[in-house]
Chain A
């Protein structure tokens, strides 16, 4: 009996300390997933000439240059350029370098095509803003150096493509001249540069490609003026629109003589009377004009005559031309109806009959086609086959070939704006969502393999099988709620106005929806998604209803543009309700009340400081009016340096009476002096944060009560001079002031100044502490400071007698209006890296110790125990303090490589880290997004409340069997001994 009890105790003790702090290499992918994206493709260049790997090089709006596998769409290599290093143009030169022109034409880089290693980099000087143009000589002689023509910052450069040396440069920005196009005809030594002065004066320069000398310069004035930029038709002809946008002007400059030829669009048909736009395309002898909703494909015939080649109904997209041979070119036009896209490949000498017609089913949630790039291949029967790269409205990228989509990339996920989570449905009897559970034999086999793995007896084949078995564990990909709360839906809003639900198990897209109101339309030219909230989370009353989310957006880039409001079912992805609001959206405040169907009440504050209540129902209004006197909010006007507190006053005074509109009043305001302080960061707590213990007991039996208020706001201001980048000010001119503000009363709880410090400031606020990261100019290192705030008014409650006699204030209501005495402890540490973003882990009950998640400049996420940022760390902690877990003081925070939660992966373009509590108290789900996505779950104090997934049941079973055998054997032995004794 006692043996077993002892053993049991032993077992429990040992399981509790099972290590799970960091990751073994073979555990990668068990709880985490990583997805690589590139963003919306701006430009694509195919590279398929040579045998071997077929690839396409793309540049995107997320400043990514990448080489993609044309067969499967995987990324061969990828580079994310700096935030303000936007890519203007890319091209391939010499058949081995990818050339990118970025930063408005000032940086030219060449990347090795096979592996993406940078070959050379050239900086192009200049200070004038101008167009940036890149032109690669289309030379047939591969072995020779080919000249790169780059126009940027007002200079034309001739650059060697072997090493990036600037061969010559020529200034071109005098007299408000704007160069529009540069080009060099094939195998010619003359470079043409075409520009406009003002809107009507047309200039053409002929420049020697050898040394950049101007050989010839001609100019002519077109009296009516041009609209927009001209585009090429042939090597000696340009096309432009006149200022009224009603006629097309052909500009021919054969031999340097400029002549204009005007043709009215109406001449091609009376119905084309609207304003015209020239669609950008590069097809020799053709150009496309869009009038109203029709695209007119024009052909230039014999000198200056225009011929209407074809009318194409909108929406239509035309690709650039592709030369099949010297005399023949092909291009593709794409039209779209409801859910199919029609691809027509045409040859320039035979327009009527398309060379190839294909219809491809395309998911309607992908929206309209935006761009198409065409490439050809030679089939076995020597005929031409075509493939097209298609960019859709939701920023996704598809390769289309032979009437099929070969691969798709969901690249809209590279530009997530906001995210929220949703629970999955509860598993019901009879409804089998899961796949077939594997049988006992497989279960045993898996565990035997695991056992072999732990005993290091497994062969490499076994390890591969084991890894595969672990990764496709069907348990984590089920579409139902699980006991531990690991399975959820991550609902994200992307820049394209698309909502996608990702499964936490493997990151697959469960459903997606292109919000109709967030699409470009006549009523709304520049819609913009703003935020996403949980609208309805049923758990008690309305369990049979599906949860839903709220998406808010605005119709335009100005803050006073009218709002968009949409409620979406989280399980099905169908829109339940959507509105175009009559008011703007400045702030959305989820209120802590729900109506009978558990819809959360939201208050939307517009720019005129009116508050609008949603949902607009009598019941919600009743509940709201009941609590109206307890509703306060604050607003931060960073540009003016003002923080204001607001409350509600009663209904609005509008022309049309609106019961759901309320007037607000300013209760308090904090005005920072604009000459010395500028708001750099304002951080508040997570709304759903739970605090488990109100008090902290130190080693010497001292009780400290945490000051826990949901209304605490951390604000940091910097000196206005020091609001720029590092290196722009001296330490004497820079300071940083950190404030802790109660946003109900406007009371400043604490204020501290760091001299010689500057931003960027990243902060995380949780429980009763705030941690912020900034740059110390004196030490020239980054620092992280922690402020912990304690409630002194309750400090007297530690006397047991007073508690017994009822002389304590523990039961007195905590109100923001009471002014408790607070005490503050703080400490500052050095931190090595720059930080992109910062977050705190959050768990269901708040018992587990916290970790800070720091997104470093290398796009990794570092988990740092809060214990390292304890203000009570001292150089020599006493024995009691050590027992409490206080670490001896060091001047800098440790960076332990094993505590990177992203392990050996990088989340390129990291923007935000979101922590979501799982149902299991020890575990936090972490979702990180930027250009890439990364999801994992972490246990800051190890998984003390469950066995790890690595737990080996087979070993346990084996041990038990061994023990049973041992008992049996000893029993037999003892029987024999007994018998022998009796015979003696």
Chain B
């Protein structure tokens, strides 16, 4: 919808031009012609046509029955399409396009009905825009102290620092009698305790 409005505001003349070719043209023999346009937002300004990386964009009718390519201005067309309800897909690397349902009516030649199948949004014009861009790779996190600390090694270091620096402080703050009792208990159990390893247990 948005795209169509955008064109509308751009120039009514352009719209007039668009309506005529973008709808269905009646052909004398056994089929109709579907004309449409692919629009990919480039850097900043939204433009028809294609950024460089998508020169291999294909427009596919009915799951591979026909394959069409797009022109530099974004137009594509399928000829000799029988009346019925069809499906158009756009295959462009780096973009996610919703398939489009196209109704080619035999009774009202020249009438086009298109709707995105993903979100059931109707299209006044057959202007196909990507729903989103696709990133195929994970993005490496930039270097930060937190990521180092979160890594296994970082956690090890943090733990060591904790044992070396903070534990003695904790032990020092304890009541000496209580500590003695605890040490005795541990000795009785015969379990090597953490405090045994610490420098101040001999004091």
Contacts and interface: CB of A to CB of B under 8 A. Distances in A.
B197 interface: yes
Contacts of A455: 143, 148
B93 A904 contact: yes
A897 B55 contact: no
B46 interface: no
A2 B194 CA distance: 8
Given A22-B137, A904-B136, A970-B164, A780 B199 contact: no
A85 B143 contact: no
B23 interface: no
Given A970-B164, A978-B202, A125 B84 contact: no
A117 B71 CA distance: 7
Contacts of B91: 856-859
A541 to B, nearest CB: 46
A727 B72 contact: no
Contacts of A978: 199, 202
B142 interface: yes
Contact of B64 (A116, A729, A836, A970): A836
B153 A956 contact: yes
Interface stretch (B6-14, B96-104, B121-129): B96-104
A373 to B, nearest CB: 26
Interface in A630-644: none
A457 B143 contact: yes
Given A780-B117, A904-B93, A904-B94, A966 B136 contact: no
Nearest to A779: B117
B192 interface: yes
Interface string A771-810: 0000101011110000000000000000000000000000
Contact of A7 (B86, B148, B156, B199): B156
A11 B69 contact: no
A702 interface: no
B14 to A, nearest CB: 19
B142 A834 contact: no
Contacts of A121: 68-69, 71, 77
Contacts of A2: 192, 194
B164 A727 contact: no
B86 A727 contact: yes
Interface string B77-92: 1011110111101011
B72 A117 contact: yes
Contacts of A903: 136-137
Contact of A82 (B64, B139, B160): B64
B155 A14 contact: yes
Given A127-B29, A457-B143, A760-B63, A833 B99 contact: yes
A955 interface: yes
Interface string B124-168: 000000000011111110110000100011011101100110000
Q: Which residue, of B104, B156, B163, has the highest number of chain A Cβ atoms within 10 A?
A: B156
B60 interface: yes
A329 B134 CA distance: 53
B156 A781 contact: no
Nearest to B197: A3
A443 B89 CA distance: 49
Contact of A118 (B71, B89, B136, B160): B71
A28 B65 CA distance: 33
B64 A83 contact: yes
Interface residues of A, number: 79
B96 A834 contact: no
A963 interface: yes
Given A25-B137, A125-B29, A780 B85 contact: yes
A726 interface: yes
A10 B159 contact: yes
Contact of B55 (A1, A3, A15, A117): A117
A579 interface: no
Interface in B23-78: 27-30, 33, 50, 55-56, 58, 60, 62-72, 77
A945 interface: no
A959 B157 contact: yes
A123 B66 CA distance: 13
B69 A10 contact: no
A962 interface: yes
A974 interface: yes
Nearest to A117: B55
A585 B21 CA distance: 54
B137 A904 contact: yes
B185 interface: no
A834 B136 contact: no
A973 interface: yes
A123 B60 contact: no
Interface in A6-55: 6-7, 10-11, 14-15, 22-26, 28
Nearest to A759: B63
Nearest to B142: A456
A25 B67 CA distance: 30
A72 B16 CA distance: 49
Contacts of A15: 152
A680 to B, nearest CB: 14
A906 interface: yes
Interface in A937-984: 955-956, 958-959, 962-963, 966, 970, 973-974, 977-978, 981
A627 interface: no
A127 B30 contact: yes
A904 B136 CA distance: 6
Given A82-B65, A726-B63, A775-B63, 12 more contacts: A10-B155, A11-B156, A82-B60, A85-B67, A118-B69, A121-B69, A455-B143, A728-B82, A858-B89, A858-B93, A892-B118, A966-B164
> Closest 3 A-B residue pairs measured CB to CB?
A974-B199, A456-B143, A82-B67
Interface of A: 1-3, 6-7, 10-11, 14-15, 22-26, 28, 77, 79, 81-85, 106-107, 109, 115-121, 123, 125, 127, 455-457, 725-729, 760, 775, 777, 779-782, 832-834, 836, 856-859, 892, 895, 897-898, 900, 903-904, 906, 955-956, 958-959, 962-963, 966, 970, 973-974, 977-978, 981
12 contacts: A14-B152, A15-B152, A24-B138, A121-B77, A727-B81, A728-B84, A780-B85, A780-B117, A897-B135, A962-B157, A966-B160, A974-B199
